[in-house]
């Protein structure tokens, strides 16, 4: 006979009953992902080398020391189920510190070593360029971190070229991959590099706590911004990087300190400044010209020019009048000469009806020079005509 199927709530309730039957337990482990909620409740994980369990210590429980990641503790409590998520957790009644966890100790030892070598010194930090034309990104190609970075860069600086180097960000293989990614991007003329990944436990972020990655960052010739984990997460990479951002999104914002809006604002301000300078320059030149114009010396020059123009006009008028008068006088003189010339002109009597007689090319001056049958030429009114006149015609 088949058993009736159980609902999720039923099976969760059954598991809860079984776990409640375990009673009070004492568990040792290392604290990870600690979070103090605004409600006062404390949420964290207890882990060892092979496994971890979620844990909670409610606000009413008293602690005589602050909890922090990497701390090794002895937790006393009961195991229960959180039905909405179907996961089991340790409800802590009390917690006793046992010492610092192995990962945390390794982190502190490497931090101390690299600090003594000067890898964290401010003096070796490279400044972020004002405008990064080429931005390199080292992160996982999947997940929210890369999308947050790309969205932020596209919104704030659409003019920048983005070069994504997909990288492992978790596990032993990630250390070598991150180091190689840093070396590769140096050959692509990037102006800045963003090294990022989303949040996680100390184990998830451990690749960024490796000495190999730390030295690759320190030896990089390009400024590196580390945006690893959440705001409360700190890794060795954060300390070595030229700049540390609280989140991947914050790293993208830090890499684009000059946004497209800033460019537009700068251009508008520059245009207004140029217009203002031009306007002021024109006003100053106008004022200078007006001041020169009112100056007595300039007024003298202007008056002198006006006087010279007027004098030229007067001279032109007088010259024209003198020319006309002289021309009239010359015309009158020429007319008198013409009258005198006409009066003296030998042929002038011809106009009064007289005529000249010519014989054999000579002018006759007396009738005694004429004989019968002579051929003569008669000239009247300045035009000569020839005729044969018989002597008897002259009788």
Contact 182, 193 (CB under 8 A): yes
Q: How many CA atoms lie within 13 A of 386 on its CB side?
A: 5
Please give the pLDDT value at position 201: 78
- What is the distance, to the nearest Å, from the Cα of residue 104 to the centroid of all Cα atoms in its chain? 47
CB-CB neighbours of 85 under 10 Å: 10
CA–CA distance, 363 with 361 (Å, rounded to integer)? 7
Please give the pLDDT value at position 98: 82
Please give the pLDDT value at position 386: 37
CA–CA distance, 242 with 359 (Å, rounded to integer)? 137
**DSSP β-ladder status, 192-197 and 224-228:** parallel
Q: How many CA atoms lie within 13 A of 28 on its CB side?
A: 7
CA–CA distance, 138 with 365 (Å, rounded to integer)? 140
Q: pTM score, two decimals?
A: 0.53
Contact 119, 240 (CB under 8 A): yes
Contact 374, 391 (CB under 8 A): yes
Which residue is listed with tokens 């046992």? 98
Domains in the chain (CATH in brackets) are: 8-100 (2.40.50.140), 134-260 (3.40.50.2300), 348-394 (no CATH)
Please give the pLDDT value at position 196: 95
Please give the pLDDT value at position 299: 66
pLDDT, one tens digit for every residue, the chain (395 residues): 567 887 888 888 888 788 877 888 889 999 999 999 999 999 999 998 889 999 999 988 878 778 888 888 989 999 988 888 888 899 999 888 886 667 777 888 899 999 999 999 999 999 999 889 999 999 999 988 999 999 999 999 998 999 999 999 998 899 999 999 999 999 998 999 999 999 887 788 899 999 999 999 999 999 999 999 887 778 999 999 999 999 999 999 999 988 778 778 878 888 888 988 988 988 888 888 887 777 666 667 777 788 888 888 888 888 888 888 888 888 888 888 877 777 776 666 777 777 778 888 788 778 777 787 788 888 776 544 433 433 334 44
């Amino acid at each position: 006979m088949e058993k009736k199927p159980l609902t999720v709530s039923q099976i969760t309730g059954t598991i809860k009953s079984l776990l409640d039957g375990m009673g009070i337990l004492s568990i040792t482990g290392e604290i990870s992902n600690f979070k103090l909620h605004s409600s006062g409740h404390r949420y964290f994980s207890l882990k060892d080398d092979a496994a971890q369990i979620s844990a909670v210590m409610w606000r009413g429980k008293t602690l005589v020391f602050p909890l922090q990641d990497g701390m090794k503790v002895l937790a006393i409590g009961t195991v229960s189920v959180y039905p909405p998520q179907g996961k089991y957790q340790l409800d802590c009644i009390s917690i006793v510190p046992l010492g610092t966890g192995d990962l945390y100790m390794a982190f502190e030892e490497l931090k101390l070593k690299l600090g003594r070598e000067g890898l964290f010194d401010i003096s070796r930090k490279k400044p972020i360029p004002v405008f990064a034309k080429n931005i390199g990104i080292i992160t996982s190609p999947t997940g929210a971190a890369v999308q947050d970075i790309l969205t932020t860069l596209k919104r704030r600086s659409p003019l920048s070229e983005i070069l994504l180097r997909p990288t492992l960000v978790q596990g032993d293989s990630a250390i070598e991959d991150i180091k190689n990614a840093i070396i590769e991007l140096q050959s692509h003329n990037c102006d800045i590099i963003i090294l990022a990944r989303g949040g996680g436990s100390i184990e998830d972020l451990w690749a960024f706590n490796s000495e190999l990655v730390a030295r690759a960052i320190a030896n990089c010739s390009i400024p590196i911004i580390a945006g690893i984990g959440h705001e409360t997460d700190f890794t060795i990479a954060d300390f070595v990087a030229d700049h540390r951002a609280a989140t991947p999104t914050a790293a993208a914002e830090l890499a684009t300190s000059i946004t497209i809006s800033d460019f537009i604002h700068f251009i508008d301000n520059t245009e207004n400044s140029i217009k203002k300078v031009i306007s002021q320059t024109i006003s100053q030149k106008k004022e200078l010209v007006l001041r020169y114009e009112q100056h007595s010396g300039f007024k003298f020059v202007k008056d002198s020019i006006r006087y010279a123009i007027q004098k030229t006009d007067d001279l032109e008028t007088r010259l024209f009048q003198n020319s006309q008068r002289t021309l009239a006088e010359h015309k009158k003189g020429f007319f008198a000469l013409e009258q005198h010339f006409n009066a003296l002109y030998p042929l002038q009597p011809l106009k009064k009806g007289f005529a000249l007689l010519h014989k054999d090319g000579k002018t006759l001056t007396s009738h005694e020079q004429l004989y019968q049958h002579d051929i003569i030429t008669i000239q009247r009114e300045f035009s000569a005509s020839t005729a044969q006149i018989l002597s008897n015609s002259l009788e």
